[in-house]
Structure 1
Amino acid sequence: MKITEKRVVLFLLFIFPLICFLILSTGKNNFTKLPVVTENVIDISLIKSSKTFKDHISVVCFLGDNIELNKGGFFNLNEKIYKNFIKYKQFQIIAIYPKDKEVEVTALKKEISAFTDMAKWNFVAANKEEIKILFDSLKTNENLANLYTSKVFLIDKKGNLRGRTIDKDSTIDGKLFGYNMQSVAELNAKLKDDIKVLYYEYYAAFKNKNENKADRKEVGL
């Protein structure tokens, strides 16, 4: 049968979209889940009882001893991540800082809050040992210098660290444990996408759970 231009157009308009739909509609979990790279991170409630990682999607950052020097990254995080997810349920940023840096933190909060609703920014003071213990529980390939790292970390509702097991830019084992807040490109291209994947993962699980309940109800279980 001769392939004409008309047949090609018809295929592209009608047949190809149908094939794509059938492929996408097969299976209930036909998407890539965001890998768990570290299980059971120490919960922030051990440092501040009123805060927790449980049942939240948390972006965690360590402010360090020189907040003024490093504050550019926190502004990037606010603009590129926080403002995009502030309306999402259970989203929060946990910013951990040394207890003797209250004045610097107050100044940072004042600058960020000038154009931002700070409702889901959570600043947590901790002593040096607490900060190191929490950071070590992430089990990353990153270093904590002067209680600071330029990387931020994505923790799921069960307190597990999420990231990437295959990352083309990683020089160690191909794993990505944290996202560089000094890089607007990395926040946009990686962290923002990974948070969306994690939210969709929870949405799909919730949807499947409701569908299973409906199926059980229909058969009288």
Structure 2
Amino acid sequence: MKKFLVLGILFALPITAYLFFASGKNNFARLPVLTENVKDVTGFETNSDSLVSFKDHINVVAFFGSDLENIKGNTFNLDQKILEKYYGFNDFQFVIVLPKEARTETDEYVEEFKKITESSKWKIVYASQENIKEVFKSFKTPHKLDESGHTPYVFIVDKEANLRGRDDDEDYGKLYGYDSRDVAELSNKMNDDVKVILAEYRLALKRNKANRN
């Protein structure tokens, strides 16, 4: 019996490991860089006293415009399907880029939303429409902002301020952003890709520690 038990464990472990690592589309490889050196938001006003920057953070970046209904709907989907899983990572942040005229209503909404989620961890930056367009243009995506500065697509920006995404997506070819209106796309593609980039940086950190030792 002991012999069969040992053989069973030896057989099961490799299969379990394979299923775990194969469960993601990118298999924990590097998430492709689609655009290098996007424009940072360091000069923008913020909803706190602290400076907000893409650098040294893994960022989910959203341009949700001045229409409060768009802001509410998009952030709710994103928070429930993606963000709440990763708030515990110190180097992870959610950056919402909004026009200055949206500030009063947005502050009130964020305070209200704190009752059901950790919206205190959202990093909100405010700027003129012109400056917002400059940042968005630097992403070099096929998506467009509407007149209010809104797009439903959200983006992954790494610690070096590079836009990450997919270069071989089965539906789009290159996947620059994730549709925050589409719960299935958030739950599957975006969630998978956030896992990939977090795993990538965790592995790099472990390697650096090992090399120092």
Mapped pair 1:196 → 2:195 = yes
List aligned pairs for 1:1-221, cutoff 5 A: 13=8, 16-17=11-12, 31-48=28-45, 50-146=51-147, 147-170=149-172, 174-214=173-213
Contact 1:35–1:162 (CA under 8 A) maintained in structure 2? yes
Change (3 A) 1:15 1:42: same
What is the letter of the counterpart of residue 106 of structure 1? D
User: Which segments of 5 or more consecutive residues in structure 1 lack a partner in the other structure?
Assistant: 1-8, 24-29, 215-221
Q: Which residue of 1 aligns with 2:22?
A: none
**Mapped partners of 2:100, 2:13: distance in 1:** 59
Displacement of 1:136: 0.2
User: Which segments of 5 or more consecutive residues in structure 2 lack a partner in the other structure?
Assistant: 19-26
**Mapped partners of 1:83, 1:14: distance in 2:** 35
Change (3 A) 1:145 1:211: same
The two structures have a TM-score, normalised by structure 1, of 0.80
Task: Find the residue that maps to 2:135 and give its secondary structure.
Answer: helix
Contact 2:110–2:120 (CA under 8 A) maintained in structure 1? no
* Aligned residue pair count: 198
Change (3 A) 1:18 1:77: closer
How high is the sequence identity, in percent, across the aligned residues? Answer: 42
Task: Find the residue that maps to 2:204 and give its secondary structure.
Answer: helix
Displacement of 1:178: 0.5
Displacement of 1:104: 2.4
**Mapped partners of 2:138, 2:83: distance in 1:** 24
**Mapped partners of 1:97, 1:110: distance in 2:** 16
User: For structure 1, which segment, 60-69 or 199-208, has the greater mean C-alpha deviation from structure 2 after superposition?
Assistant: 60-69
User: For structure 1, which segment, 193-202 or 99-108, has the greater mean C-alpha deviation from structure 2 after superposition?
Assistant: 99-108
What is the letter of the counterpart of residue 189 of structure 1? N
Change (3 A) 1:37 1:68: same
Task: Find the residue that maps to 2:167 and give its secondary structure.
Answer: coil
What is the letter of the counterpart of residue 139 of structure 1? K
Displacement of 1:109: 1.1
**Mapped partners of 1:20, 1:107: distance in 2:** 50
Root-mean-square deviation over aligned CA pairs = 2.6
The structure with the greater share of residues assigned to strand is 2
Task: Find the residue that maps to 1:149 and give its secondary structure.
Answer: strand
